[in-house]
Amino acid sequence: MSRNYNIRDQDKPHFLTLTVVKWLSVFNNASYAKIIIESLNYCIENKGMEVYAWCLMKNHLHLIARAKPESKLQDIVRDFKKFTSKRVIAAIYEDSENLDEGKALWVFRQSGIANSNNKYHQFWQQHNHPIELSNNLLFDQKLKYIHQNPVKAGLVNESHDYRLSSAIDYSGGQGLVKIESVN
């Protein structure tokens, strides 16, 4: 049975998960994580994306986001994934003397060959698994899930201590991505 992973109501916030192919650990490298953070901020400032929460783990990105009325979330996410995949893969090529990066490039190349939607490499999995957050209970549930992700992974004891997330924004601080706080 196939699932429909389209974003139907562009005005509603959605919970999205963008996952690296084969769940490869890429974002432990600070320079690759920086590409994602800068790209999120670019989409917020220039493409009409509103981000309410985010968390970048070693192999995936969780977001609660929506598009401003003049934009479409599915188009922003498509462009974000296309741009970041090219930038991260280019950065990995620069670092490819490292054995792990060389293996990652091979996996991205093989994934690209196997998927007719790609020319050379595939970095992100095709689907974002959008979940429309149609009520406050669902929104709060996903917000907590995103911020507890690094705690459950054993990376930090308190969610606001994880710098690659919006948890600090919900604890009175300022994070790396310009979010729309719901406090």
Q: What is the pLDDT of residues 34-63, one digit of tens each?
A: 999 999 999 999 999 999 999 999 999 999
At residue 3 the predicted structure's pLDDT band, cuts being 50, 70 and 90, is very low
Integer-rounded Cα radius of gyration of the chain: 16
At residue 29 the predicted structure's pLDDT band, cuts being 50, 70 and 90, is very high
Residue of 124, 97, 95, 96 whose CA lies nearest to 108: 124
Any idea where the domains of the chain sit in the sequence? Answer: 14-136
CA atoms of 160 and 147, how far apart (whole Å): 8
Residue of 142, 125, 4 whose CA lies nearest to 66: 142
Q: Which CATH superfamily is domain 14-136 in?
A: Transposase IS200-like (3.30.70.1290)
The mean per-residue pLDDT over the stretch 168-173 comes to: 96
Question: What SS3 class is residue 52?
Answer: strand
Q: What is the pLDDT of residues 68-105, one digit of tens each?
A: 998 999 999 999 999 999 999 999 888 766 546 667 87
Question: What SS3 class is residue 77?
Answer: helix
Q: What is the pLDDT of residues 127-139, one digit of tens each?
A: 888 999 999 999 9
What type of residue is 24? L
What local confidence, expressed as pLDDT, does residue 96 receive? Answer: 64
CA atoms of 39 and 55, how far apart (whole Å): 14
